[in-house]
Amino acid sequence: MLDTIDIQKIISIAREAGKAILEVYNQPFDVEKKDDHSPITLADKRSNDIITGELKRLYPEAPLLSEESKQIPFEERKDWKYFWMIDPLDGTKEFISKNGEFTVNIALIHDGEPVLGVVYIPVASTTYYASKNSGSHKIFPDGRIAKLSAKYLHYATRRNVVVIGSRSHQTPEVQEFVEQLKQKGKAVDFISAGSSLKFCLIAEGAADVYPRFGPTMEWDTAAAHVIATEAGRKVLNAKTQQPLAYNKENLLNEWFVVE
């Protein structure tokens, strides 16, 4: 199926969703609470409707799994070969605080692995995209396209290490990770960012390592996962050191490290 997808169309869908998000962002809006007490806004809903509607129209053969759609039982989805995994507004807390660090995430999953991903940053008019064996790219606001290639030393071998972490979900375990690097004699610069933007900054070499020792869901990471890996990075389960897996029975991610 991957060969039949025009990634430019997926980019256009993400941008259309981003435009709808900004229409809400630039005016007063209400914040509701979902069943798990996480926030949701009209922007999440409008973006979800645009993405799911367009993907169903273009690729009716592929199932959809979205953060804002009804959960689909594992018994139904466990045999899916390909499906779309969507986070229509990743970083709702960043959206609410109006710091601009939120994204639209669209991923294609094949046999538990992300094989195509688009991450769009509406406020910055910037797009990151990748597909398996085709590399990872960034589209700047002026339309320029740059190929991302992480030709950098592994953070464990570097004297100076840039660690990137969550702006809204910092944990003591990440602080301990940083302290351990310092104890090994490394000079550590810690920077924060919201949403899947952290993966993208790793992919383009603006940071060396992203330890995420706190809860995330598969739709939070899927699109940016393939952007990082196609740029030469790794997204590893912190316990097993194996690539992060998708379409698990429990869609909660294990703790992971992007390096």
Beta bridge mates, 79: none
CATH of the domain at 243: 3.40.190.80
Q: Using CA atoms, how far apart are residues 189 and 132, in angstroms rounded to an integer?
A: 31
pLDDT score, position 149: 86
Residue % of the chain over a pLDDT of 90: 86
222, amino acid identity? A
Q: What's the pLDDT tens digit per position in 232-246?
A: 999 999 999 999 999
Whether residue 144 is predicted with pLDDT greater than 90 in this model: the reply is yes
- With CA atoms as reference, report the closest residue to 203 among 167, 152, 132: 152
Q: Which of 148, 170, 191 is the last residue of a domain?
A: 148
- Domain identity same for 131 and 160: no
- If one counts the domains in the chain, the total is 2
- Domain identity same for 132 and 194: no
Whether residue 168 is predicted with pLDDT greater than 90 in this model: the reply is no
- Domain identity same for 70 and 143: yes
| Residue whose structure tokens are 């606001």 | 141
Under the banding of pLDDT at 50, 70 and 90, the label for residue 152 is confident
82, amino acid identity? Y
| Token output for 6 | 């025009």
pLDDT score, position 119: 98
Q: Which of 69-78, 110-119, 137-146, 239-248 has the lowest mean pLDDT?
A: 69-78
- Domain identity same for 8 and 111: yes
Q: What's the pLDDT tens digit per position in 79-122?
A: 999 999 999 999 988 999 999 999 999 999 999 999 999 999 99
Are 201 and 152 contacting, i.e. CB atoms less than 8 angstroms apart? no
Q: Using CA atoms, how far apart are residues 48 and 104, in angstroms rounded to an integer?
A: 9
Whether residue 51 is predicted with pLDDT greater than 90 in this model: the reply is yes
| Token output for 86 | 């969507």
CATH of the domain at 60: 3.30.540.10
pLDDT score, position 169: 75
- Domain identity same for 170 and 199: yes
Under the banding of pLDDT at 50, 70 and 90, the label for residue 67 is confident
Which range of residues forms the domain containing residue 225?
155-258
Q: What's the pLDDT tens digit per position in 200-222?
A: 999 999 999 999 999 999 999 99
pLDDT score, position 104: 98
Q: Which helix (H) or strand (E) holds 88?
A: strand 82-90
Under the banding of pLDDT at 50, 70 and 90, the label for residue 170 is confident
